[in-house]
A = this chain, B = another copy of it.
């Protein structure tokens, strides 16, 4: 870098600044409504939240009355300070009064006009005039079609068709546009097509799944290819936009893969965006450059800072993943300068489109280009439509090529786009805010971000990701695999191969630390390939039950005396062991219970979570609690184990739920007889293996696979058993509860039963629900793992105002998802667990046909062409069609009975009141969810939607240990929530020990 570079940069920056001086973007002009609103947003964060949320929901409010109601709900809270300039009369009168309607009307108009500042028109036709106005001002454009999230292939297809139309409309008129710049060619500035279009990959394919990476790329190309082809035909420029972390690697691969195709290889007018706020953006850039150099490809990089900083941070923190973006704005600024320079240095293969409103960034690019003797017309400066007009004008005045990013679309996607732009403008770090709203001095605006970084170093990584020596770090959920990283996909794939080779597994029972063979065996098979035997597993009989309980009884005193810290350490060690085996533990689930990759991975993570959480819980609860503080007395409340615990586990979370119940019992000091489900005994044996590998003393955990009908009652009614932890069906649960309540005269105590049973869970979709989110979550909740979760959504309750919209989107989305053996990661849904389950589900589908109307039935026979080495006994397929019924009423069996399969019953209701009544109107109370943007309805659901786990604006499955203590009431269970702070208490008896420390009138003062 030239020694005087910084000096020249400052000069250029100040020159640009002078060109800006006196101009102000309409956005910040306080005489207008938008300016007033933004001004108040910057002053009052609570108002900003409400305002942006209101804008977000606004397009769904199709009647003045609903606008008024929402205005009151969002802004009517007395604690909210409202700007006096915006006294829109929200707090007066009913939502149906004339005044209220007038207010609503004026509000709606204002928001529409606010949106009009950022969006050129709702269709390409409408946008033509503003686009031509831009060109007449000497500026190019890149047209972007706004759209809702694409949740189905029909939506992707429609979006694709809109793009084709856009090309057509622009192509029809481009000849009448003179080229920009001094060059005599038909290209703007001598090199750039007049038509320039930006596309998002997520709009081109609805079933993007990072774990099915290659499949996703291939499918997305199916629509991008014709689009690129159209660009070539029309001589247009096409840019692939960059979205959030989950799509970044997919988008890069997609772009490269397309350009590697012969028809595009030599086409110079394509580009891709790179986000400088990403920590890996430099590496990505270098890789792209290397690739382009190797392949002799020319391309453009639109260098941006990135528009999803807040959400990237939140998503990463929620996932407990490394944060992919820089913590500090200055780091991003510095990285922008660095990457811009790298791109300029590779001018021979790549062109820079500098997309920033930041004065210093612009000056840096201008001066760096000079350094490298790149003609200024060779670089584009891109600005967003409606933002920072003074900057684009200054750039124009400076004679530089300016391209305006020009969004086109209607209100629904428009509002989402608007919110993002408003957030950007009102963020503390926003250049536009600093310059135009706060009047920060030019010297400050031009300061070198590296200097600023030195002055305010970014905070170091959050502590506690690794346990410190001695004290345990706070609990953190085990992060799921980030499938966008090739390593995880490859290692999972290898694990599938490795595990398959190990099949069928021969599994013994284990009693008192010794393997026990049995005459009878359980055959465990792959539900997606029933002739593949996963395991040949010992089947215990009554005599084994007696042995196992005696072993647990014998081990109890020693285990009880083992310090609670030591007991917890066994859990932590088992967690560490499970972490090392994650791929294999998950792969085994794909084969034995038919879990898709992500579902299997989540189950293993949850098992690890239980170990880490209950271990820590025991550390917390093991410490005796001082009761009262009177002198002369030491009173402590403490907890001790109950005795022998029988764990009867289900197959649907074969590792996690088994591990939860077992590890809680063990941590608390009980000894365990663990009966895995007959459908998942091989995974069940992993529980035993994990604890054996960390040298849990013999007899503390006894592994007793067997048939429930053969050994269940014997286990439950045994007089030496102190407690039973059960998860499974309601019928079995109620039977266990009744049986355990008969206290034998030989019993050591009264048996305690912890029972987690079924659910008939509902999701309510309010009239104003965000359907982009709702559809995705409903599908995941209803059909994830084939609906075989007690938390699964089996009822969908939709308010009539949103009914048609939702039904159509849901139908097409449900028709778009891939079905088939889950070994193939592209398949969202595979076979159900066993023939009995299949038959029961099919019978409910038959009932549903009587009771309601089929909306979707995916009876396409799945692709079962997965190669299998073994083929023992041919069996019928365990697949059932994904089925959605409408016209279901609360009294229907489909609305009342648990199906435990991929069947969803939709019920239309007239209002929220009815929605709640229907939702609550079952014997179960496990999970539930609502999608709503009405503060009032959300508050009401919190109070009145009575389920164990209620979710707001997200699906009703996927509870995380600690964050979402899990469990229901009514017929859904008895006992406290798994993964919550009260759970371990159930495995223990409380004791109080009170010592009178006063002797001869004298008590130690310290006590």
Contact = CB atoms under 8 A, between A and B. Distances in A.
A740 interface: yes
A800 interface: no
A999 interface: yes
B965 A637 contact: yes
Interface string A965-1007: 1110111011011001110010001111111111111111110
A191 interface: no
Given A949-B994, A951-B994, A964 B640 contact: no
A8 interface: no
A993 B633 contact: no
A738 interface: yes
A218 interface: no
Nearest to A738: B741
A750 B971 contact: yes
A404 to B, nearest CB: 23
Given A637-B965, A1000-B56, A1001-B420, A317 B631 contact: yes
A749 interface: yes
B998 A314 contact: yes
Interface in A618-660: 625, 627-628, 630-633, 635, 637, 640, 642
Nearest to A995: B952
B999 A53 contact: yes
Interface stretch (A140-148, A160-168, A305-313, A584-592): A305-313
**Of A625, A964, A990, A995, most B-chain CB atoms within 10 Å:** A990
A963 B995 CA distance: 11
A423 interface: yes
Contacts of A737: 741, 743, 750
Contact of A311 (B318, B747, B949, B1002): B1002
A317 to B, nearest CB: 5
Contacts of A317: 630-632
A993 B990 CA distance: 28
A225 interface: no
Main SS at interface, chain A: mixed
Contact of A963 (B633, B946, B989, B999): B633
Interface size class of A (residues with CB under 8 A): 35 or more
B640 A981 contact: no
Contacts of A991: 946-950
A981 B635 CA distance: 14
A334 interface: no
Contacts of A416: 1000
B992 A318 contact: no
A74 to B, nearest CB: 12
Nearest to A951: B994
B965 A627 contact: yes
A15 interface: no
Nearest to A639: B982
**Of A416, A740, A749, A923, most B-chain CB atoms within 10 Å:** A749
B990 A953 contact: no
A79 to B, nearest CB: 13
A419 B1002 contact: yes
A312 to B, nearest CB: 8
Contacts of A637: 965, 977, 980-981
A954 B994 contact: yes
B741 A1005 contact: no
A942 interface: yes
Contact of A953 (B742, B933, B996): B996
Given A755-B750, A971-B750, A1001-B308, A993 B56 contact: no
Contacts of A942: 993
A938 interface: yes
Contact of A990 (B308, B561, B750, B965): B965
Nearest to A638: B942
Contacts of A49: 1004
**Of A635, A982, A997, most B-chain CB atoms within 10 Å:** A635
A780 to B, nearest CB: 13
Interface in A450-498: none
A947 to B, nearest CB: 7
B994 A963 contact: yes
A536 to B, nearest CB: 37
Given A741-B738, A750-B755, A56 B999 contact: yes
Interface in A542-570: 561
A52 interface: yes
A923 B947 CA distance: 39
A748 interface: yes
B1005 A45 contact: yes
A770 interface: yes
A858 interface: no
Given A631-B318, A752-B974, A994-B949, A1000 B52 contact: yes
Contacts of A953: 995-997, 999
A948 B734 contact: no
Contacts of A965: 627, 637, 990, 992
Interface of A: 45-46, 49, 52-53, 56, 308, 310-311, 313-315, 317-318, 416, 419-420, 423, 561, 625, 627-628, 630-633, 635, 637, 640, 642, 734, 737-738, 740-743, 747-750, 752, 755, 770, 923, 925, 933, 938, 942-943, 946-954, 959-960, 962-967, 969-971, 973-974, 976-977, 980-982, 985, 989-1006
